[in-house]
Amino acid sequence: MRVGPATMILLLAAVAPAANAQDGKVLFDSVCAACHQAGGVGNPGIAPPLNDAALWRRLGDRAPGYVAGVMTSGLSGMIQSGGQVYAGLVMPPQAMTDEELAAIGSYLLGTLNQTGQAVDPALIAKTREAPPSHSALQKLRKGS
Ligand code: HEC
């Protein structure tokens, strides 16, 4: 059988796997690591560490919502993390699909921080519908 370009595209679409934790690592390393470094170890004074077990433990059930909020709205305002102060720097909202952001969030929580949590594409979609303000995210982070 001769396979034309249109058939080829259909075949490729059919075998493309859904975004998963593996894609999450690839996406994290190519996008988030530009500021947060590979493995999310952070860049002192520039971008806070994301392999911050204490932060995720403190956030508990609110962690997936916080990650979804920061990725879709970005973040600004003063943050204290690992003995460093991050102030005056803005994390821009991340322009990616719901599936891609969910894969990154799941990699961040489930793989990097072993919280046993994942971020669902539906949570990203819901967060986009009512994007949290940076001050709401800061409050959530402080646990108030
Ligand atoms: C252009 C640089 C940049 C990129 C790219 C970036 N971030 Fe950030 N991120 C920051 C900065 C700066 C802050 C701290 C903002 C502040 O001080 O309020 C931050 C904060 C965060 C926080 C909050 C950390 C905490 O301690 O509360 C999370 C979570 C986060 N980023 C996740 C991500 C993820 C996931 C990606 C990739 C999709 C990403 N970031 C891409 C710069 C970046």
Measured CA distances, 4 to 7, 14, 111 (Å): 5, 15, 40
For atom 29 of ligand 1, the residue with the nearest CA is 67
Any residues with CB less than 8 A from the CB of 93 and at least 6 apart, and which?
A: 71, 72, 73, 74, 131
Q: Which class for 127: exposed (0-12), middle (13-18), buried (19 or more C-beta within 10 A)?
A: buried
Going 59 to 120 to 29 to 110, the CA torsion angle's sign is positive
Q: What is the pLDDT of residues 92-142, one digit of tens each?
A: 999 999 999 999 999 999 999 999 999 999 999 999 999 999 999 999 999
Q: What is the pLDDT of residues 49-95, one digit of tens each?
A: 999 999 999 999 999 999 999 999 999 999 999 889 999 889 999 99
Instruction: Indicate if the pLDDT at residue 5 is higher than 90.
Output: no
Compute the distance between CA of residue 1 and CA of residue 4 in angstroms, rounded to an integer: 9
Closest CA to 109 of 31, 33, 36, 40: 40
Categorize the per-residue pLDDT at 4 as very low, low, confident or very high, splitting at 50, 70 and 90.
low
Give the pocket of ligand 1 (CB within 6 Å).
31-32, 34-36, 47-48, 50, 52, 55, 67, 70-71, 75-77, 79, 81, 86, 89, 91-92, 94, 104, 108, 141
Any residues with CB less than 8 A from the CB of 41 and at least 6 apart, and which?
A: 49, 51
CB 2 within 8 A of CB 8: no
pLDDT of residue 18: 52
